[in-house]
Amino acid sequence: MTEKVAYVYAVLRPAEGLDAALGELTGVAGAPVRLVSPGATAATDAPVAAVSAVPAQDFREDALRRHLEDLTWLESVARAHHGVIEAAAARTTVLPLRLATVYLDDDRVAAVLREQADAFSRALRRLAGRLEWGVKIYVESRPDARGADATVAAGAAEGVGPGRAYLRARHSQRHARDESYRAARQAADRVEAIGRALAADHARHRVQQGELAVGGGENVVNDAYLLSRETAADFRSQVLGAVRDLPGVRVDVTGPWAPYSFTARPDGEPPDGEPPDSEPPAAERAP
The pLDDT, as a whole number, for residue 240 is: 96
The pLDDT, as a whole number, for residue 273 is: 36
The pLDDT, as a whole number, for residue 30 is: 95
d(CA 205, CA 254) in angstroms, rounded, equals 14
H or E element in which residue 18 lies: helix 18-23
The pLDDT, as a whole number, for residue 69 is: 84
d(CA 73, CA 9) in angstroms, rounded, equals 17
Cis bond leading into 143, ω under 30°?
no
| Whole-prediction pTM | 0.76
The pLDDT, as a whole number, for residue 167 is: 56
Strand ranges (E), 81-200: 94-96, 102-103, 130-139
Sequence-ordered list of residues with C-beta below 8 angstroms from that of 57, at least 6 positions apart, any chain: 2, 3, 63
- Mean pLDDT score across all residues of the chain: 83
pLDDT-flagged residues of the chain (< 70): 1, 141-177, 210-215, 264-287
d(CA 148, CA 228) in angstroms, rounded, equals 49
Whether 113 and 50 have beta carbons less than 8 Å apart is answered as: no
DSSP string covering 48-114, please? Answer: EEEEEEEEHHHHSHHHHHHHTT-HHHHHHHHHHHHHHHHHHHTTS-EEE--TT-EESSHHHHHHHHH
Sequence-ordered list of residues with C-beta below 8 angstroms from that of 91, at least 6 positions apart, any chain: 15, 17, 18, 21
Whether 14 and 46 have beta carbons less than 8 Å apart is answered as: yes
Whether 139 and 218 have beta carbons less than 8 Å apart is answered as: yes
Torsion over CA of 115, 58, 205 and 203, rounded to 10 degrees? -20
Maximum alpha-carbon separation in the chain:
90
2-41 pLDDT, tens digit per residue, is: 799 999 999 999 999 999 999 999 999 999 999 999 987 7
